[in-house]
Structure 1
Amino acid sequence: MKITILGTGGGARAHSAKLLELGHKVIVGTRDVQTTLARTEPDVMGTPPYRDFLAEHPRVTLMTFGEAAAAADEVVINGIDGHNAVAALSAIADQLQGKVLIDYGVPYLYAHQPVHPWPTPWGIMPKLEPCDTDSLAEQIQRALPRTRVVKSFVTQEQTTVVDPASIAGGDHTMFVAGDDLDAKDQATSLLQAYGWSDILDLGPLVSARGMEMYAHIHSAIGFALGYQFGGHFGLKVVR
């Protein structure tokens, strides 16, 4: 199957490598191909330039966002940062028509000055926007009414999403939410291919609000366990 990943960050790279391993054809979308390939220094998160990843994974095809979305058979994984996702996806709405879009974005707003800041090892904790009464996934669905949006992957580091067995042999929980049952089935099938056995359907896409707001407790747990960014741990729903 031809599966598209929008974005070139660390999470997108984890999905790319795993999907290649599973035998899929992987198309990656970026805003500007030449600009992406021209970078020679790590980004602000310390992620090496994408050209290095591409050299190690020559079967990945790099295209613009629109070209990559159009090339997917059916499934597109959204790895565009949450602050820019709605605008970037809206610009390629026609190419995403009818596709299943699995979104793992967190709607973080980094440039803010809170009255009561939360200091972290890397600066002030970003603000979730939207929060409580809306979610990034719902915003994407409203902007793309002809696309079937599923929220998933967002409660784990993406390196864990593609390799659940690396923690407790895979004995932890992943969530899906969405308004289209077939789209959720597609996301569930992909998770099962990754190795997940405990997948909990949270129901309609409005449940994405809870998944996105979990980002703060995920960070807090990671800090408590000694991780500066993210962390190698799982979340298990015991029932």
Structure 2
Amino acid sequence: MKIAILGTGAGARQHAARLSALGHQVIVGTRSPDATLARTEPDMMGTEPFAAFHAVHPELTLVTFAEAADAGELIINGIDGTNAVAALTALPAASLAGKVLIDYAVPYIYQQPVDPQHSWPTPWGEMPRLDPVDTDSLAEQIQRALPDTMVVKTFVTQEQETVVNPGEFGGGDHTMFLAGDHEDAKTAAREILTAYGWNDIADLGALAAARGLEMYAHFHTALGLALGSRFGVKIVR
């Protein structure tokens, strides 16, 4: 399958490498391929420049967002939550119409003014706030902006290196969640998750449940900081 991954961050790279290893043709989209390949410094999270990653994975095609979306039979959104809706709606509508879009972005707002009464310091700075939150979600915003696209929210409750290789924890015996309004999109997401090695996939229902999945990001971060390591999550029924 031709799979377009929009974004070149650490999470997008995990999916690109894993899907390529699984035999898919992976097209990576970025705002400017030339600018992306020209960067020589790590990003804000310390991720190495994309050119170094691409040198290890020359089989990956790097093109613009529009070219990737047009070529992909299935789309994975790895654009940061602040810019995702604007970037996706700027694409030609026909390039996304009728396609499944898997969204794993967290709608984090970075570098916001710090209120001392509500400060949450972390090793990398102030914890970003979520927007939207509670009564809406980024996934729902994307779905409203792209009514002809089938949006499904998943991958978002684990670090992406765990998403693509769940066997690192407990032999893979932990739980992944998804939510969406389109059964075809959920089926496509399940197929990818199964190929990654997930055995327990919990369907949370309509896309509105993406609100809970996105808000879980803060709890997951708190757990990771307390444990000092990555971890898996298992729902015991």
TM-score, normalising length from structure 1?
A: 0.96
Match of 1:118 in 2: 120
* SS of corresponding position for 1:62: strand
Match of 1:97 in 2: 97
Q: Distance in 2 between matches of 1:206 and 1:177?
A: 8
Match of 1:65 in 2: 65
* SS of corresponding position for 2:87: helix
Q: Distance in 2 between matches of 1:122 and 1:35?
A: 26
Q: Which amino acid aligns with 2:77?
A: N
Give matches, 1:152-171, under 5 Å. Answer: 152-171=154-173
Q: Distance in 1 between matches of 2:114 and 2:235?
A: 32
Match of 1:209 in 2: 211
Give matches, 1:165-184, under 5 Å. Answer: 165-184=167-186
Q: Which amino acid aligns with 2:109?
A: L
Match of 1:17 in 2: 17
* SS of corresponding position for 2:233: coil
Q: Which amino acid aligns with 2:125?
A: G
Match of 1:225 in 2: 227
Match of 2:46 in 1: 46
Match of 1:34 in 2: 34
Q: Distance in 1 between matches of 2:106 and 2:119?
A: 19
Q: Which amino acid aligns with 2:14?
A: A
Report the Cα offset of residue 111 of structure 1. 2.5
Match of 2:76 in 1: 77
Q: Distance in 2 between matches of 1:82 and 1:223?
A: 22
* SS of corresponding position for 1:69: helix
* SS of corresponding position for 1:177: strand
Give matches, 1:130-141, under 5 Å. Answer: 130-141=132-143
Q: Distance in 1 between matches of 2:47 and 2:119?
A: 26
Q: State yes or no: 1:237 paired with 2:235.
A: yes
Q: Deviations over 1:127-146 (max 9, x none)?
A: 00000000000000000001
Q: Distance in 2 between matches of 1:214 and 1:95?
A: 31
Q: Which amino acid aligns with 1:204?
A: A
* SS of corresponding position for 1:151: strand
Q: Distance in 2 between matches of 1:49 and 1:180?
A: 36
Q: Deviations over 1:42-93 (max 9, x none)?
A: 11111111111111001100010000000012x1100000000000000113
Q: Which amino acid aligns with 1:162?
A: V
Q: Distance in 1 between matches of 2:86 and 2:94?
A: 14
Q: After TM superposition, where is structure 1 displaced by more than 2 Å over at least 4 residues in a row?
A: none
Q: Distance in 1 between matches of 2:148 and 2:220?
A: 32
Report the Cα offset of residue 41 of structure 1. 1.3
* SS of corresponding position for 1:188: helix
Report the Cα offset of residue 114 of structure 1. 4.3
Q: Distance in 1 between matches of 2:218 and 2:182?
A: 28
Q: Deviations over 1:106-157 (max 9, x none)?
A: 0001132243111111111110000000000000000000100000000000
What RMSD over aligned residues (CA atoms) do the two structures have, in Å?
Answer: 0.8
Q: Distance in 2 between matches of 1:235 and 1:114?
A: 31
Q: Which amino acid aligns with 1:89?
A: L
* SS of corresponding position for 1:94: helix
Q: Which amino acid aligns with 1:14?
A: Q
Q: Distance in 1 between matches of 2:94 and 2:129?
A: 31
Report the Cα offset of residue 94 of structure 1. 2.8
Unaligned runs of 5+ in 1: none
> What percent of counterpart residues are identical?
67
